[in-house]
Structure 1
Amino acid sequence: MRVRILLVLILLMMPVLSGCWSRIEVNDLAFVTAAGIDKMEDGKIRLALQVAIPRMLGAAGQGGFGGEKGIGTKAVWVVSEKGETILDAYRRLQEKLPRRIFFSHSGIIIIGEQLARDGVSPILDFFIRQREARMRSYILFTKGEAVKILKFVPKLEKVPSEIMREEVKQHIGLRINLKDFAHMLVTDGVEPVAAEMELVSSNLTNAEDSKGLSPSNLETNLSLKGSAIFKKDKLIGWMNDMETRGILWLRKEMKMGVVTVNIPKENGKISVLILNAETQITPIFKDGELSMEVKVRAENELYENNSKLDVGDPKVIHLVENALEADLIQRIQLVLDMAQNKFKSDIFGFGIAVERRYPKEWKNKFKEQWEEEFPNLKVNIKADVTVNRTGLTNKPLILKEKETEK
């Protein structure tokens, strides 16, 4: 009897344990490495996908497939289609491809300016609902069309999205993923901000240098050039790379960087590398008035001295530290003025800091009118900068040369 019951249970369980009944073979998938979205003149949405070409991928310098794997050979295929919505464009794209579109390997979402200015919420809704989409995908914006960024052919990597991802990872600009951006959209007390990606010249500095060269002869590369500033879900403006450094300080995201200051009396410059950075933001509510205290601290290593200063002298180091502090305060004040006066957008999350420190006051007084409070918010900036290392030498080479002559 027990044997019969066991046999019946096994028979009943066999359909459940029948293996990967819903599996999809790798050869049936089109792996998306990056997605670009633009709004066209007719109002339709263009979805562009950067799809990996499996036979072109492999170790650098590896041969095979008739020598197809060479320098400059495209390892991705950019396909695009228009639609009334993202899903509509997605369906039309799927009709073009012999393989099923697979988003799980996509690490980049880049959005064109026109679409961003009209509002990104409807677009991001698709990626947030899409089960295959990665919430850790970096979100980027560009002043032109997103599809042009996807079509860039890299020199050092096979896949263009790897260039974008490595640029973001180096902490030279903002690192905002889909999850971060969506959180800023739905959170009171902070407005969205993200990195700007652009195609730039690799070695030309101005228009004069490029005269006589055809567009095909101009070397270009992808670069983080600044930040896209939002009010709610709409793009309202841009900040350049220098101003973005101020954003990083105020968002407590400064990790590394180089600061160069002028030494007027010595007619020279000194450059330092940031080794450690810290930002402390403290809301102060006193006598019915709200203000913000921002304290920034940085430890630096002196990497270059083009002045005549002898950095072996403690007094000289103190002078350099004062110059660095003044420069840092000026940079932060610059971006703060732009956010308060030009954009009137709290991209730093000051409102969140107020809510955490004064939850009752935030709920009763500031939450509903934060858009009016933020532009008038008084912010006191303090900087503490130290130079802990000066390299393998103290005196600049120009002084050593004069000592040798004597």
Structure 2
Amino acid sequence: MRKKGIVLLIIVMTQILTGCWSRVEVNDLSIVTATALDKIEGGKIRLTLQIAVPRMLGQVGSGGGGGGGRGSGGEKKSTVTVSENGETVLDAFRRLQEKLPRKLFFSHSRIIIIGEQLARDGVSPVLDFFSRYREARLHSYILFTKGEASDILNIPPKWEKISSEEIREEEKSHIGVSIYLVDFLDMLLTDGVEPIAALVEPKSTEVKKKSDSESGQSPPESEKSVVIAGAAVFRKDKLIGWMNGKEARGALWLRNELKQAVITVTIPEEMGNGKVSAKLLKGESKFKPILKNNKLIMKVEIRAQDDLYENSSKLDLNKPDAIKYVQKKLEEDIEKRIQIVLDKTQKQFKSDVFGFGTAVYRTYPKAWKKKFKDRWDQEFPELEVKIAAHVRVVRTGLTNKSITLEDKEFIK
């Protein structure tokens, strides 16, 4: 009996003692905060990693700045950027690891940026690595750029210690397209919808002066910030084109992903002249496919609630008729925005990034499998889409009166 007790004690102690056998100390890790991928000559992959410098991240106020990486005075960089080429992502990863004294650790990587050339050739081979590697974060944001992705990581941050954190915060604001890696992979594998993701570019945070425009000079890298400038549109796994910021927000309306928006409409002279600006409080879009007489029509219904924050027109917002008129103008503007992005995706890209095909499958599963699934890339460009926007102005700010106009000047 005593012998059995000793054996049991040894087994328990063995389990306790071996519980942390595979641990790796933080001091032995190179923590990756961002990843960039480019295709170079010969078809090889260039893997660029932004790695945190732990001793710099904890410093506050040293050198009179935020430790962001511009290196003014006594300020030092909070990250380093390293890169290596390889036949595959894993091959480049191995070559890069050979040059570093610490183990590369991907679990804190917040963003993945892919360059244009690699995106146009197809992203499936490189994304395969991130879908299999256990340290990769599927909730990293995926973004694309018109140049080389490595250049984006080399732009010093302005507002945060790490440039990847700036990009992540901008994605979290949902001002533009915001797509996680897992969502991008899901779009790749789902019938009836094509992938879309954010376009990221370096831009000056200041308005370009006339003298700068005439000289053709662009601001130095230290004066630029990385911004979400639009969207990358795909057909299957290949990039086929770009949307600008306005078009991308139109796509967000249709994808039911718009969280923030400001709509400005021009009031004609006979109705009071000037402009009215409204801020979106809540927006929702719904698709309703209708299959009748073997013809498919897609009805899109947009509902929005807005607050009016600016009125430089002579409209008297105390009057219900004036509010109704503004609502109608806002509805027309939304419908116009959506029609612009529809024309581009149907006629130029021929890519259903809105998920119309998925809506057809859910409503008419048998017809989808029999008629539409295998030729949706031909059906989508010819699909008739009817848009109907409904806007309700909830509030008109703290006052209905203009601060510059007298009562007699308002349009009654």
TM-score calculated relative to the size of structure 2: 0.93
CA contact (8 A) 2:116 2:147 kept: yes
Say if 1:208 and 1:145 are closer, same or farther in 2 by CA, change over 3 A: farther
SS at match of 2:81: strand
- C-alpha offsets along residues 256-291 of structure 1, whole Å, 9 cap, x if unaligned? 210001112233111100001111111111121111
> Partner residue of 2:198?
195
- C-alpha offsets along residues 231-252 of structure 1, whole Å, 9 cap, x if unaligned? 0000000000000111001101
Aligned ranges for residues 285-364 of structure 1 at < 5 Å? 285-364=291-370
1:235 paired with 2:230, answer no
Aligned ranges for residues 25-36 of structure 1 at < 5 Å? 25-36=25-36
- C-alpha offsets along residues 271-321 of structure 1, whole Å, 9 cap, x if unaligned? 100001111111111121111110001110001112122211111111111
Q: Distance in 2 between matches of 1:214 and 1:182?
A: 36
Q: Post-superposition shift, 1:44? A: 1.4
Q: Percent identity?
A: 58
1:49 paired with 2:13, answer no
Extract unaligned runs of 5+ from structure 2.
71-75
SS at match of 2:94: helix
> Partner residue of 1:145?
148
Question: Which stretch shifts more, 391-400 or 107-116?
Answer: 391-400
Q: Amino acid of the residue matched to residue 139 of structure 1?
A: I
> Partner residue of 1:261?
265
SS at match of 1:36: strand
1:114 paired with 2:117, answer yes
Q: Amino acid of the residue matched to residue 131 of structure 2?
A: I
Q: Distance in 2 between matches of 1:364 and 1:309?
A: 54
SS at match of 2:316: coil
> Partner residue of 1:246?
250
Question: Which stretch shifts more, 27-36 or 88-97?
Answer: 88-97
Aligned ranges for residues 193-232 of structure 1 at < 5 Å? 193-205=196-208, 208-209=211-212, 211=215, 215-216=219-220, 219-232=223-236
Say if 1:191 and 1:70 are closer, same or farther in 2 by CA, change over 3 A: closer
1:177 paired with 2:180, answer yes
The CA RMSD over aligned residues, in Å, is 1.9
Q: Post-superposition shift, 1:399? A: 1.1
Say if 1:212 and 1:277 are closer, same or farther in 2 by CA, change over 3 A: closer
Q: Amino acid of the residue matched to residue 226 of structure 2?
A: L
CA contact (8 A) 2:37 2:150 kept: yes
> Partner residue of 1:11?
10
Q: Distance in 1 between matches of 2:245 and 2:273?
A: 26
TM-score calculated relative to the size of structure 1: 0.94
1:98 paired with 2:101, answer yes
Q: Post-superposition shift, 1:13? A: 4.4
SS at match of 1:399: coil
CA contact (8 A) 2:288 2:299 kept: yes
Q: Post-superposition shift, 1:193? A: 0.4
Question: Which stretch shifts more, 235-244 or 50-59?
Answer: 50-59
Extract unaligned runs of 5+ from structure 1.
none
- C-alpha offsets along residues 123-167 of structure 1, whole Å, 9 cap, x if unaligned? 000111110000000000000111111111112100111100011
CA contact (8 A) 1:252 1:279 kept: yes
Q: Distance in 1 between matches of 2:65 and 2:286?
A: 53
Q: Distance in 2 between matches of 1:316 and 1:289?
A: 40
SS at match of 1:42: helix
Q: Amino acid of the residue matched to residue 5 of structure 2?
A: L
> Partner residue of 2:73?
none
Say if 1:107 and 1:15 are closer, same or farther in 2 by CA, change over 3 A: same
Q: Distance in 1 between matches of 2:167 and 2:49?
A: 15
Q: Post-superposition shift, 1:67? A: 8.6
SS at match of 2:185: helix
SS at match of 1:398: coil
SS at match of 1:16: helix
Q: Post-superposition shift, 1:197? A: 0.6
Q: Distance in 1 between matches of 2:66 and 2:267?
A: 52
Q: Distance in 1 between matches of 2:248 and 2:328?
A: 22
Q: Amino acid of the residue matched to residue 41 of structure 1?
A: E
CA contact (8 A) 2:304 2:392 kept: yes
> Partner residue of 1:37?
37
Q: Distance in 2 between matches of 1:105 and 1:198?
A: 23
Q: Post-superposition shift, 1:388? A: 1.2
Count of residues in correspondence between the two structures: 399
